[in-house]
Amino acid sequence: MMTASDDTAAKTAKRPSIDFKTIGPALALLLLCIIGYLLNPSFVSEGNLTNLLTRSAFIGIIAVGATFVITAGGIDLSVGSMAAAISGVMIIVMNGAVETMGTGLPTVLLGCGMALVLGIGAGFINGALTTKGKIEAFIVTLGTMGIYRSLVTYFADGGTLSLNYDIRGTYRPVYYDSFLGLPYPVWVFIAVAICGWLLLNRTAFGRYCTAIGSNEAVARYSAINVDRVKTLTYVIQGLCVAFATIIYVPRLGSASASTGVLWELEAIAAVIIGGTVLKGGYGRIGGTILGALILTTIGNILNFTDVISNYLNGTMQGLIIIVAVFLQRSDWKLGKSK
């Protein structure tokens, strides 16, 4: 990776418009895929690639939401717990509706509707507490993270909540079936990614997120309703968590205290690897998608090879995050900037 970056540095010496920040994550992913292929050619089999994409979808969808929150200068640590709590409530609601509504599509739709309402609601709570309550986002979401996590444990009575077996049959295709060769979760991922990209890069709302993350005072003086925009970023985050949960529940058909553990960190990692700046003001949806793919690919490669133990997955992910951020430092090739 060093040589690749050196080359780019040499080329960009005259034209600074080709930014290593932009192509870095793509190069990294490409490199990982080549390594994967060299270690085990079946890495590029259609089956493995679809599997990889499907697995990326959860973190990827959540990370798209996180990109908005982080770009606007916030942070949301509660997404993993939120996903667990939403899964729990979805399962309880669907199981409870079996008597009256049966085990067909309406029940599943009720569950999904419930998930969306909960996601939006939970996001709104996070947003309102940070903006109207004037509490640091880190503290607010640390608090709600604990609350949601303990709620799902409480609902499951310390064990596991399982979805009614017949509903599972109805719901199953959402995770396991495909359309045009791609599993549904991947389609949802693609749709969320495209909407996210358009929203961040092509609308006034996206510009406002960037402005607020760059400098909140400037945003306020520029007639931007800072509280509303910030709250909306958390609502978008909640909505993304709800989408991820909707495609996650049919995978196992259960929820427990260990559902979605550490998802918040993976989502934030995906965002950062993708080149979004953690302190806000600069966001890249495309990078986030690549970041999510990179994280999943590492795990996938380790599954395929004996060279490095699978238990070192976290180590590899951690290294990638640190290396990615190191390479993104804009001044490392120029020596000193100002």
Partner 1 sequence: MNVESSASAAVIEAVNISKSFGPVPVLFSVSMDVHPGEVHALIGENGAGKSTLMKILSGFHDPTSGQIRLDGEQTTLPANGGAEKLGIVLIHQELNLAEQMTVEENVFLGRELKSKGLLDKAAMRASVQKYLDEIGLDISPDDRISDLTIAQKQMVEIVKAVSRNARILIMDEPTAVLTEEETEVFFRQVRKLKDSGVGIVFVSHKLNEVKAIADRVTILRDGQWIDTRLSDDLTPDMMAQMMVGRELSDLYPPMHEADVDAELVLEVENLSAPGIDTVSFNLRRGEILGFSGLIGSGRTAVFEAICGLAPIEGGTIKLFGRETGSMTVAEARDLGLAYLTKDRKEKGLLLGKKMRPNLTLLALPKFVKNFSLDSKAEEAALDRAIRRFDVRARDRDITVGKLSGGNQQKLLLAKIMECDPKIVIIDEPTRGIDVGTKQQIYHFIAALAAEGVSVVVISSEMPEIIGICHRVIVMREGHITGVLTGDHINENEIMRYAAGLKREELH
Q: Residue 182: what are its φ and ψ, rounded to 5°? A: -110, 135
User: What is the SS3 string spanning 167-200?
Assistant: HHHHHCHHHHCEECCEEHHHHHHHHHHHHHHHHH
Rule CB under 8 A: say whether 217 interacts with partner 1. Answer: yes
Provide, rounded to whole angstroms, the least separation between the CB of residue 199 and partner 1: 9
Work out which of 40, 95, 178, 215 binds partner 1, going by CB under 8 A. Answer: 215
Backbone angles phi, psi at 114, to 5 degrees: -55, -45
Six token digits for residue 170 = 């109805």
214 binds partner 1 (CB under 8 A): yes
Residue 134 binds to partner 1 (criterion: CB under 8 A) = no
Expressed in angstroms, the distance from the first to the final Cα of the chain is: 27
The Cα–Cα gap between 54 and 176 comes to 9
Contact letters (x/-) for partner 1, 282-311, by CB under 8 A?
Answer: x-----------------------------
* From 109, 198, 312, 319, residue interacting with partner 1 (rule: CB under 8 A): 198
Tell me if residue 179 falls in helix, strand or coil.
Answer: strand
Please give the DSSP secondary-structure letter assigned to residue 241.
H
Stretch that binds partner 1, among 46-54, 143-151, 218-226, 249-257 (CB under 8 A): 218-226
Shortest Cβ distance from residue 270 to partner 1 (Å)? 23
Going by C-alpha positions, the residue among 254, 285, 256, 280 that lies closest to residue 171 is 254
Q: Is 211 in the site for partner 1 (CB under 8 A)?
A: yes
* Segment interacting with partner 1 (CB under 8 A) among 206-214, 230-238, 243-251, 320-328: 206-214
Report the distance separating Cα 116 and Cα 300, nearest Å: 30
Of 21, 172, 207, 333, the one binding partner 1 by CB under 8 A: 207
Site string for partner 1, 254-283 (x = CB under 8 A): ---------------------------xx-
Among 56, 210, 231, 317, binds partner 1 (CB under 8 A): 210
- The distance of closest approach from Cβ of residue 288 to partner 1 in the complex, given in angstroms and rounded to an integer, is 20
Separation between Cα atoms, residue 131 and residue 230, nearest integer Å? 7
Q: Which residue(s) pair with 178 in the sheet?
A: 183
- Distance, CA of 59 to CA of 55 (rounded, Å): 8
Q: In the complex, which residues of this chain contact partner 1 (CB under 8 A)? A: 17, 198, 202-204, 207-208, 210-211, 214-215, 217-225, 281-282, 336, 338
